[in-house]
Amino acid sequence: MVTQPVELATPLRTSKLLGGEHLADQPEAEGHCAFKAALVEPRPGMVVGLYNGNGRDALQVDLLNDSCYVHFSCLLCGTSRGRVRGISIAPRVGEGHIGYAPGERFSVWYSPDYRHLELMLTPEALGELVGDEFERIGDIESGFIMRATPPGSRTIDAAMRLAQRVETPGTSPLLLHAAVLEFLGWHLEGLNRNGVQGAVPLRERKRLLAARERLLEDLSAPPTIAELAMEVGLNQLKLKRGFRSLFGMGVYSLFQRHRMERARELLYHYNVTETALMLGYSNISHFSTAFRKQFGVLPGEARKNTLISVQCPSHLSSGISGSA
């Protein structure tokens, strides 16, 4: 099982990526790379890819899909366009997309600033995960599925969280797998939505996603609302309303949620005081209050339970509790 992200600098002309052959229109330049990909394999039959443009060059390729994966994707930044079987594909930022097209040829174009997350599952692995909900995705036996799910706050949030897990070295396999399931789950939930979230204009949605990324850049020192609004080119009212509409919560609430989730991870390795200081708290009691508000327990208790679970195997801890 591979859980460390592997950076791939892929030449334009020809590359082999997870069984899909990319044949670009442009000639390959010496040392010239059109995009980078970070790939992780949480388990057999499951691959997560995070793709980023190089910031300078657009990428146009013809792609032969010789893999058997079902693809669940989300465009996080930039612009992309595609065409397969005469069908035009132009996902919006934050929009989910489900595709299954083994043996098909695609023509695709990506802007220099594109950022794209993709979860790839074999039909067998997908069936194990979703059970009876499998048929909602489409007719796999037909050999071709191509459908979009409207942008939604939960889908976008799950995509951002999974992208962060992929980019973070040493991410816990359990947390990575949990992020994969959340991303997949909200894709399926998106099949029931009527696209209400799409009411946020595309230009504004891009700025809100940029604001979210900037907000979570440093969990120890967040920017003020005024600073964040100025950086992304929105007024404060649009920023606040946009966060609630697109991400389902306010700016500070979203920041605190991610800050406390990071605190829970840090408590595996550091004591309460060290964790609080690493996350910018000078007052430990304020940190403890925030942590308990998020998880219902004090950070000291959470750390103690973590240490017990790590140091004492489950079969021994159950035996101890049973004999008490």
**Are 53 and 59 spatial neighbours (Cβ–Cβ below 8 Å)?**
yes
176 band by pLDDT with thresholds 50, 70 and 90: very high
pLDDT digits over 189-200, tens only? 877 654 444 467
Rounded-to-integer distance, Cα 145 and Cα 27, Å:
32
Q: What pLDDT score does 192 carry?
A: 66
Q: Give the residue, 278 or 30, on which the prediction is more confident.
A: 278
Q: Which residues pair with 117 in a beta bridge?
A: 50, 74
Which has the minimum average pLDDT: 212-226, 229-243, 303-317? Answer: 303-317
CA distance linking residue 76 with residue 168, whole number of Å: 17
Residue with tokens 């010789």: 66
pLDDT at residue 31 greater than cutoff 60: no
| pLDDT higher than 60, residue 70 | yes
Enter the tokens of residue 56.
């300078």
Q: How far apart are CA 97 and CA 122, in angstroms?
A: 16
The predicted model scores a pTM of 0.61
Residue 156 has a CB neighbour count (10 Å cut-off) of 25
pLDDT value, residue 3:
40
Cα separation, 185 vs 301, whole angstroms: 30
Residue indicated by tokens 């993709």: 118
| Highest mean pLDDT pick, 83-97, 111-125, 128-142, 296-310 | 111-125
Q: Over 70: is that where the pLDDT of 21 sits? A: no
State yes or no: pLDDT of 10 exceeds 70. no
Q: Which two tokens stand for residue 232?
A: 């992304």
Distance CA 158, CA 139 (A): 25
Which long-range contacts link 222-231 to residues 24+ away (Cβ below 8 Å)?
222/255, 225/251
State the CB neighbour count (10 A cutoff) for residue 297.
14
Look at residues 149, 156, 164 and name the one whose alpha carbon lies nearest to residue 247. 156
Cβ neighbours of residue 189 closer than 8 Å, sequence gap 6 or more:
152, 154, 155
Residue recorded with tokens 């404060």: 236
Which of 8-12, 265-269, 307-311 shows the highest mean pLDDT? 265-269
Distance CA 58, CA 214 (A): 24
Strands 87-89 and 46-53: unpaired
Mean pLDDT of the chain: 80
pLDDT at 57: 87
pLDDT of 224 above 90: yes
**Contact 210/232 with Cβ under 8 angstroms?**
yes
Which pLDDT belongs to residue 118?
94
- Cβ neighbors of 175 (< 8 A, separation 6 or more) are 165, 265
Question: What whole-number distance in Å separates Cα of residue 120 and Cα of residue 135?
Answer: 17
Amino acid making up residue 60: Q
Lowest mean pLDDT among 35-49, 68-82, 116-130, 194-208: 194-208
